[in-house]
Amino acid sequence: MRVLLIIPAYNEEKNIQKVVEKVRAYRSRCDFALDYVVINDGSTDNTKQVCLENGIHHIDLLQNLGIGGAVQTGYLYALREGYDYAVQFDGDGQHDPECLPRLLEPLVAGQADFCIGSRFMQNASAFRSTKLRRVGIRFLSWLIRLLTGTRVTDPTSGFRAANRAVIASFTKDYPSDYPEPESIVHLAREKFRICEVPANMFEREEGTSSIRSWKSLYYMLKVSIAILYAGLQRKTGGKISS
């Protein structure tokens, strides 16, 4: 089976080489065909130069599209190149490639179409983010379950695996700003099978998160409205319509 890691990166000059080295090390001993592509999302730092100097396979976007546009670029690449599965893998070093087999297992077994790595299941991860953000995550989990009936403990997790059907769906429609929770609602509405598995995550070593301080409140408001809008839309003929 062929698996592609989609690694979105915006101003990750201090992290991206370490992330790719970790992926390369894991690839040398895993029992499936593993590739990666870094999506350099119009970075204004030296992310592009680091990729060029270290032979890192990457796609340069001419301008910053945001996390949604960067990840969708990766899904377009995965579909075009015929990968069986695509895994979103953050460029800040928080995700653990050792968890890939566990993340892919439900898809390979035909038990799910989309699998999310959760840091909250079975105390899988020592790193769980701040208390305030955990409260927000629980609220988003409740809202998604209310609207779709789908229980997800870690809806903001960016460590997610998709099969070919979901890859194709994401190439046509993928949320733009903070897409993880909203995309779960879209998939649930389209009757894709969604599951979660425990996943270890690390704290960011360098740089800063795009969601911090007062932006956390803005994020919560914006993503809640997006989830409500997506969840309350009327589905017609296999498509989502208002």
pLDDT, tens digit (0-9, with 9 covering 90-100), for 19-63: 999 999 999 999 999 999 999 999 999 999 999 999 999 999 999
> Tens digits of per-residue pLDDT, 138-161?
999 999 999 999 999 999 999 999
Percent of the chain residues past pLDDT 90, beyond the cut: 75
Position 238 confidence tier, pLDDT thresholds 50, 70, 90: very low
Residue 206 pLDDT greater than 80, yes or no? no
For 127-166, b where at least 16 C-beta lie within 10 A, e where not — what string?
Answer: ebbeeebeebbeebbebbeebbebebebbbbbbbbbbbeb
In the prediction, which pLDDT does 13 show?
Answer: 97
Nearest partner of 121 among 159, 91, 87, judged by Cα: 159
We report the CATH number of the domain holding residue 93 as 3.90.550.10
Nearest partner of 10 among 36, 56, 48, 37, judged by Cα: 48
> Tens digits of per-residue pLDDT, 58-81?
999 999 999 999 999 999 999 999
In the prediction, which pLDDT does 233 show?
Answer: 72
In the prediction, which pLDDT does 121 show?
Answer: 92
Domain that holds residue 231: 2-241
Cα 71 to its chain centre, rounded Å, is 8
Count: domains in the chain: 1
Specify the 3-state DSSP secondary structure of 234.
Answer: strand
> Tens digits of per-residue pLDDT, 188-203?
999 999 999 999 998 8
Kindly report which listed range (2-11, 169-178, 224-233) carries the lowest average pLDDT score.
224-233
